[in-house]
Amino acid sequence: MADYKEIISAYKDLPGGIIEAYHAIQKEYSYIPEDAVVAAAQAFDISKARAYGVATFYSYLKVGKRGKNVIRICESAPCHVAGADKVVAALEKELGIKMGETTEDGKFTLEFTECVGQCQATPLITINSKPYGDVTTEKIPGIIAEY
């Protein structure tokens, strides 16, 4: 695993480099460690508050621990009408955690997301940005088993 300081260093001279650095760190760690925000503030010569603000502004970025596999379920109206609540219940049961939590082994985190633009296949979940459409409670164990 690459050190977040090395990742930040690779982007520190680019315009908008802090966002690119955060994306690269998250790709490596599945999240942005709190210490990486402090290191980014120093490298980009901005306040810690501003560095934290950038890291928390974008819903895709996540500061603080989360699982290796991030499962997001769309909570928009079409997914809700199509039975997203049943899929949420099945995910929580299968993984033994609630929305917003991470499994003890650090493999999975459950998060809500807004529309991902695939309303023709509701309800929809993504795992590490890979979409799974027309999800039913019966499909959940097989999908999880892929990871």
Tens digit of each residue's pLDDT, the chain (147 residues): 789 999 999 999 998 899 999 999 998 988 999 999 999 999 999 999 999 999 988 877 889 888 989 999 988 888 888 999 999 999 999 999 999 999 999 999 999 988 888 889 999 999 988 999 999 999 999 999 999
Q: Going by C-beta distance under 8 Å and a sequence separation of 6 or more, which residues neighbour residue 90?
A: 137, 140
What pLDDT shows up at residue 115?
84
What domains can you pick out in the chain, each with its CATH number? 4-57 (no CATH), 69-145 (3.40.30.10)
What pLDDT shows up at residue 61?
87
Q: At which residue do the structure tokens 């769309």 appear? A: 74
Distance CA 41, CA 62 (A): 16
Q: At which residue do the structure tokens 């997001």 appear? A: 72
- SS3 breakdown of the chain: % helix, strand, coil, rounded to 5? 50, 15, 40
How many other C-beta atoms are found inside a 10 Å radius of the C-beta of residue 136? 12
Q: What is the pTM of this model?
A: 0.75
